[in-house]
Homo-oligomer: A and B are copies of this chain.
Amino acid sequence: MNMSKTWQRMFHTLGAAFIGYTILDSSIQISVFSGPSMEPTIQENDVGLVEKLTPYKKFQRGDIVIATSPDNPSIQICKRILALEGGRITSDGSYALWREKRVVPRGHVWLEGDNKDNSTDSRQFGAIPLGLVHCRLLAKISPKVEWLATSNIPVNSS
């Protein structure tokens, strides 16, 4: 009788944890970052809080998002939205494969890392479909808590 109550409690706990995790996981997520492409905003091993609730049409320039890489579906990339559909992008030509103005196509976004010299992003692979973007970074929680506003829009966005 005691054993069966223990099993029962264990199943209840596991079941509740699974349900809670599933509901939570469809809305927010903790992510650990690696790589230099978003320095100094995000450093290696920083931990952030991301959310999956914002609909695509509410994304703004300056938002930091996590997306599936267009070159490799097994990896996730974290970059800043510099332009939305219809937005114009210009390149100074020093590192990009193109020099003229480009317009971001419908349903796409233009992403760039904050660390311009050390980031593979839309300057190399072009604007990516919004369907690849999964979530938006709300705040960093490590090394210290920082709420990330969208007001830090880099100078070269259009």
Q: Which chain A residues have a beta carbon within 8 Å of chain B's beta carbons?
A: 15-16, 18-19, 22, 56, 67-74, 105-108, 128-133
Is the beta-carbon distance between A73 and B15 smaller than 8 angstroms?
no
B18 close to A73 (CB less than 8 A): no
| Shortest beta-carbon distance from A42 to chain B in Å | 21
With a cutoff of 8 Å between Cβ atoms, the chain B residues found around residue A107 in the complex are 69-73
Listed by A's residue number, 16 A-B pairs whose Cβ atoms lie within 8 Å are A15-B16, A18-B19, A19-B19, A69-B107, A69-B129, A70-B107, A70-B108, A71-B105, A71-B107, A72-B107, A73-B107, A73-B130, A73-B131, A73-B133, A129-B129, A132-B132
**Which of B105, B106, B132 contacts A129, CB < 8 Å?**
B132
A19-B19, A56-B73 given. 19 additional CB < 8 A pairs?
A: A15-B19, A18-B19, A18-B22, A22-B22, A68-B131, A69-B107, A69-B129, A70-B107, A70-B108, A70-B129, A70-B131, A71-B105, A71-B106, A71-B129, A72-B106, A73-B130, A128-B129, A129-B129, A132-B132
- What's the dominant secondary structure at chain A's contact region? mixed
